[in-house]
Amino acid sequence: MEGSFIFSLFFLFLILGAANSQAADSCNSPLSLQSPLPFDTTTLQCVPVWSSQSFILRYQQASPNVWNFVLSAPNKNAYIGIGFSPNGKMVGSSAIVAWVEPDGTYEMKRYFLGAQSPDQVIVNQGNLQVENSSMVLQTNQIYVAFQLIVNTPENRLIYSVGREGRLPSAPNFVLSQHLDQISTLLNYATGQFQKENPDGGLKRSHGILNMLGWGILMPIGAMVARYMRQWDPIWFYSHSIIQSFGFIFGVAGVICGLVLEDRLQANVNKHKGLGIFILALGCLQVIAFLARPDKESKVRKYWNWYHFSVGRILIFLAAVNVFYGIHLGNAGAGWNAGYAVVLVILFIVGVILELRIWMRK
């Protein structure tokens, strides 16, 4: 009896797995839709352009100035989009965005992405001349078909998927911030494509420099000043050198961030404002170091209070802004976990050293 039950479950899983494999679109099988598309799809070239989101692009040059496209993706109650970009960036591209309304009706709109803010993403604008467009929803898969009137389409294509439940609505059809996006370079002749990230190196430099400078070296330098006082003057020179490198890396990271904001036209005012405030605190610390009074001076006590307080505020805000920057950059859980591990280690070391000070007292 028990063996029969297990066999039945196994057989059920096989059936469900087969059903799911049939429901998902694939380049391994010909395109077969219950509703006809406005052009022949039997000879379209098929490319799995975005595996993590199951985006598949089919295309073909139908005549010297007509190109057929079919984009398919799972219906996740969110919009899907394909953009044609002159430089691989989202800003400045023209896009076709499609979604399925809760009542089952289809919507497809053209957009011009003038900037990253929603009010600069303009509906029914752009340089795409679209003809014979249609949509099909089959086995919870969206198929977006359209013809472009152009000699050669842009080969830098951007794909995006919106957030669940955040669909554009009449009358303005404002496009909300996407959940995820990818930029690719497609060779129309061969079907070969590669992922592009034009500002990926600059984004990584911005994150690493700020994390290392403000978020790691600054706390280490502060710990050296507090827990290595018995080794005078080694503690002082170590503290000065570590904080100097932290400040230099931090300044370089802020400069990278300003350049990155200008290139991406990103709306990151909170992150930027917090970063500039942290930079200002760092500059104040440098000025305070250069203008520090003698140890015998009556104002040295107040200088110490100021120096300690500003430094602790800087370190706290830097950690907050590093995590916020990881969130804005969609860097992933690995970056969050890695930086969190570093902070936990520094915290544990600080607690141990603090206990040693209390025990001596």
In 3-state terms, what secondary structure has residue 6?
Answer: helix
Strands (E), the chain: 45-50, 55-63, 66-74, 80-85, 94-100, 106-113, 121-123, 130-138, 141-149, 156-161, 180-186, 193-196
276 vs 284: CA distance, rounded Å: 12
Measuring CA to CA, which residue among 181, 219, 115 is closest to residue 330?
A: 181
Paired strand residues for 85 = 156
Q: Is 206 annotated as a binding residue?
A: yes
Q: Is the peptide bond before 198 cis (omega within 30 degrees of 0)?
A: no
The contacts of residue 16 (CB under 8 Å, 6+ apart) are: none
Dihedral sign from CA coordinates of 324, 330, 333, 336? negative
Residue 271 annotated as lining a ligand binding site: yes
Q: Is 327 annotated as a binding residue?
A: no
Cβ pair 214, 282 in contact under 8 A? yes
| Spatial CA neighbour of 120 closest among 80, 71, 177 | 177
Query: CA–CA separation, 322 vs 328, rounded Å?
Result: 10
Both tokens of 346, joined, read 């520094």
Which of 254, 246, 187, 241 lies closest to 212, judged by CA? Answer: 246
Angle (CA) 319-323-326 rounded to 5° is 140
239 is in an annotated binding site: yes
3-class state of residue 77 by DSSP:
coil
Positions at the binding site: 206, 239, 271, 307
Positions at the binding site for heme b: 206, 239, 271, 307
